[in-house]
Chains A and B, each alone.
With several copies, the nearest count.
Chain A
């Protein structure tokens, strides 16, 4: 499967752009995060890395599909 992933904040710097395509066997949020950790070890140095699916924070066991809007959410610092 090929997932399009949006990147924000520090993850945009680490991935080298606002959007990336991740190839992956699995279909869960956890599998996607592991794949990203392999490909971009710098992500493991963050305080946290949440993943949003369709504009909502997702649980690790959530199943994703190629048509979902997926985004990397490093530690937020708004306000």
Chain B
């Protein structure tokens, strides 16, 4: 399951989708909105996606991961729209027979998703706003 959604992500549902009776391990990464960035209070975040391409790119990442690790199940859900601090922006869940592979595959998927998937976030502070990482001087993360 690859999902780009404006609705709050049901983490348990993502985990259930990835789970498998043959698996001994599920690793789950949950990205959440921090209440601060570069020492400033974050009021909210705006996430935007080029949805069709994002799904494409995430599918490629999953395909790569499936070749590298023995995945028995997986699910990725990414939220878009307006998110407040504490809300879940992304969930990646990966099931495999043993635990090491589940950690490695999950980390590969979220790392590559962050590098490649056409999704953007704008941080809205009390005194302004900024597309994250867009400009050299403002590079964060």
Q: Is the CB of B115 within 8 A of A55?
A: no
Contact of A17 with B by CB under 8 A: no
Q: Counting CB contacts under 8 A, is A56 at the interface?
A: yes
Q: Are A46 and B117 in contact (CB under 8 A)?
A: no
Q: Complex: how many Å from CA A6 to CA B54?
A: 14
Q: In the docked arrangement, what's the CA distance between A8 and B80, Å?
A: 13
Give the distance in Å from the alpha carbon of A73 to the alpha carbon of B120 in the complex: 9
Residues of B within 8 A of A6 (CB): 50
> How many contacts A-B (CB < 8 Å)?
86
Chain A interface size, under 10 / 10 to 19 / 20 to 34 / 35 or more? 20 to 34
Which of B14-22, B67-75, B128-136 lies at the interface? Answer: B128-136
Residues from chain B with Cβ under 8 Å of A78 in the complex: 47, 49, 54, 78, 89-90, 113-114, 117-121
A21 contacts B by Cβ under 8 Å: no
Q: Which residues of A contact B135 (CB under 8 A)?
A: 10, 45-47
Q: How far is B119's CA from A9's CA once the two chains are assembled, in angstroms?
A: 8
Q: How far apart are the CA atoms of A20 and B41 in the complex, in Å?
A: 34
Q: Tell me if B132 and A77 are in contact (CB < 8 A).
A: yes
- Known A-B contacts A9-B48, A9-B122, A52-B53; the reply to A75 vs B134 at CB < 8 A is yes
Separation in Å of the A63 CB from the closest CB of chain B? 19
- Quick one: which of B53, B119, B134, B136 has the most chain A CB within 10 A? B134
> How far, in angstroms, from A15 to B141 measured CA to CA in the complex?
26
- Report A6 CB to chain B, min CB distance, Å: 7
Show the binding face of A for B, using Cβ within 8 Å. Answer: 6, 8-10, 12-13, 45-47, 52, 55-57, 71, 73-79
B-side interface residues toward A, CB under 8 Å?
Answer: 31, 47-50, 52-54, 56, 78, 89-90, 99, 110, 113-122, 131-136, 139, 141
